[in-house]
Amino acid sequence: MSGDAWSLEEVNAAHEDVIPTAMSSTTVLMSTIVRTWHEKLVSDMTLTPLRRWLLPDIRSIDAPAGIAPLVARILAARGCEAAEMADFLAARIAEGGPPMTDLDRAVSRLRRALAARERIVIYGDYDVDGITGSAILVRAFRQIGIGVGAYIPDRYEEGYGLNAQAIRKLAADGTRVIVSVDCGVTAVREAELARELGIDLIVTDHHHPPAELPKAFAVVNPRRPGDPSLEKDLAGAGVALMLARSLLGELGYALREDELMQLVALATVADVVPLVAANRGLVRRGLASLNRAPLVGVRALAERSGLKLGRINAMDIGFVLGPRLNAAGRIADAEEALRLLLTEDADEAKTLADSLEAKNTERQELTRQVVKAARERAGERPDAWATVVADESWPAGIVGLAASRLVEDYGRPAVVIALSGDEGKGSCRSIAQVHIAEALDECDDLLIKHGGHAMAAGFSVARDRLPAFAERLDEVVRRRLGGARPVPTLRVDAEIEPEALTARLALELADLEPCGAGNARPHLLVRNVRVYGIRQVGADSDHLRCKITVGRFTFDAMAFRRGDHVEAMTDAGFVDAVVTVGTGLRGFVELELRDFGPVGTADRMRGEAVPA
């Protein structure tokens, strides 16, 4: 994940009252140190940029044949060599290479279980990644005529990952093999319990592995030490897809490849893994399948949320489909979302889609309430290196969204904890300079369990350990930052003339899709553009909608989290802006103002330029 990119669902939570126009991160608000930097840079301005713009040195490049010059400049600014550009844009999925450690062992055990008619259960996480990964494996077994069980834990009753109560229940039901999806790599005690109960546990996961791996029958995780596979950034559903493909064999996989590919596309975008290498190819092919012949449940969800089939892109997964699939697990039980992805009945799919829509609406209101309260708590320690807040009234399914908002507010890692009895369940969001899962490793002795990624993680902690945890994490973050508070930055991919903002430009930039984490929609600098028709939008009037006129073209534009600049922008009339280009629901070109300042801002920031 790039330094200024956040979970697409979390971006959606920030922008859910308006129509998003670009799939990229929200504007980071200023912490005390950031305000100091801005005051020094633009002390004489009333309209101020919120980030330091890192301007590229590349002005022109000899574009390879068949690649638009601007696209080539953008790729070069991102470090892509000319000889690599065509392959990147083609989004080919490389075949071959060594398999993940234990993959063959897992397939062998599953085939033995099938031959002996042993009970197999797929045990998935309750987010989009875990749900779609579980659906991939259930559908894979269906392809060979075998029905398997599926189990998604209740976030509020059982918490994240494998748990002893569920394992005992599954053992009592006669389960002999459990396959975890998007969880399990930290389940040391649970793996031991499974073995004692006569269950062979196959872990498939992609999270940061601990020092001690669980002693499961197989641990399939591209991030485990010594794993020889080439693709380290797969989503949990991507790992499940590799298992399904190996289980089915090439012929069986090819027969129903499309339905599995669209599921892995949902997970890969929603879980914010980098959209490069294999992930880019998986999402490209999955979107093609989804738009051509969507699964019954995916069709129902898309139609219920107002998307137009045939034109669904990665942004739509991140902003629209993903949050609705996640809503079930955030509010209640994620089983509804799994049923939606497995059903072949159109009427059932419509009913489930309606239910997820209602839960997402409820989730939106809960998010607003928790974010407001969490901000009040966070303001009590403005000089902390890591924000840590907790409350008994906050739902565990919402705290991750609130943590993301606090990172935006303060520009530092944030932890929001839902307390229940003697225990708290926390969710962390971080910044590029702090690998939050590794930071939690340094707090291991204070936590019940923990796990996650560089930018997002979760944990459980005893209530009486909270003060010690907050103090320890604050020190860990301070040390990892070298005692220097970071300044939010925005890397510009290319500078263009305002006259270049045309529908043709939008078509050229579409070659870079799918865009998301690790391959953000291009940030383009345009100078001296006219802005007018400026108005506040959103439930709290904290976003701006305006129009930008360039020559004979006029575009609709959004500036998220900049509602307080409506008067300053109106007074300015013209701005320098960093924009992303997308298409709205009606297919027209729309812009997102990622950051902006008075005319001349770009020149003032030229001194901050860095080599591309």
d(CA 543, CA 19): 11
Note the pLDDT of residue 38: 44
Cα–Cα distances (Å) from 118 to 141, 173, 204, 229, in that order, read 13, 11, 19, 30
Residue 43's contacts (CB-CB under 8 Å, 6 or more residues apart) are: none
Dist CA 304 CA 100 (whole Å)? 38
Alpha helical stretches, state H, 183-256? 188-196, 236-255
pLDDT value of residue 493: 95
Sequence-distant (≥ 6) Cβ neighbours of residue 365 within 8 angstroms: none
Give the single-character DSSP code of 319: I
Percent of the chain clearing pLDDT 70 (strictly above)? 91
pLDDT of residue 587: 59
| pLDDT at res. 61 | 83
Structural domains in the chain, sorted by start: 18-78+493-608 (2.40.50.140), 103-355 (3.90.1640.30), 379-480 (3.10.310.30)
pLDDT tens sequence across 254-268:
888 999 999 999 999
**Which residues partner with 590 through β-bridges?**
556, 582
Q: Which amino acid is at 37?
A: W
Calpha distance 86→164 (Å, rounded): 50
Query: In this structure, are residues 595 and 565 in contact, taking their beta carbons and an 8 Å threshold?
Result: no
The pairing of strands 524-537 and 543-550 is antiparallel
Q: Which residue has the tokens 């890591």?
A: 386
Instruction: List Cα–Cα distances, 281 to 91, 224, 298, in angstroms.
Output: 5, 23, 20
Give the Cα separation of 104 and 229 in Å (integer). Answer: 13
Per residue in 169-209, pLDDT tens?
Answer: 999 999 999 999 999 999 999 999 999 999 999 999 999 99
Q: What is the pLDDT of residues 502-523, one digit of tens each?
A: 888 888 999 999 999 899 999 9
217 or 37, greater pLDDT? 217
Q: What is the rounded distance in angstroms from the CA atom of residue 55 to the CA atom of residue 14? A: 27
- Count CB neighbours of 77 within 10 A: 21
- pTM score: 0.87
Q: Kind of pairing, strands 423-429 and 456-462?
A: antiparallel
pLDDT digits over 19-57, tens only?
333 333 333 333 444 444 444 444 334 788 888 999 887
Query: Chain-wide mean pLDDT for the chain?
Result: 88
Q: What is the mean pLDDT of residues 285-308?
A: 96
Environment class of 488 (CB within 10 Å of its CB; exposed 0-12, middle 13-18, buried 19+): buried
Instruction: Report phi then psi at 545, rounded to 5.
Output: -120, 140
First CA to last CA distance, the chain: 18
Dihedral of CA atoms 82, 85, 86, 92 in degrees, nearest 10, equals 140
- Spatial neighbors of 426 by CB under 8 A, at least 6 apart, are 390, 399, 415, 416, 417, 418, 458, 459, 460, 461
| C-alpha span between 328 and 301 (Å, rounded) | 13
pLDDT in tens, 571-602: 999 999 999 998 765 557 789 999 999 999 98
Residue 322 has pLDDT above 90, yes or no: yes
Distance from C-alpha of 321 to C-alpha of 596, rounded to nearest angstrom: 30
Number of Cβ within 10 Å of residue 249's Cβ equals 11
Q: In this predicted structure, what is the pLDDT of residue 585?
A: 55
Quote the distance between the C-alpha of residue 141 and its chain's center: 28
For Cα atoms 604, 606, 607, give the angle at the middle one, nearest 5 degrees. Answer: 90
Element spanning 556, H or E = strand 553-559
How far is 209 from 224, CA to CA, in rounded Å? 6
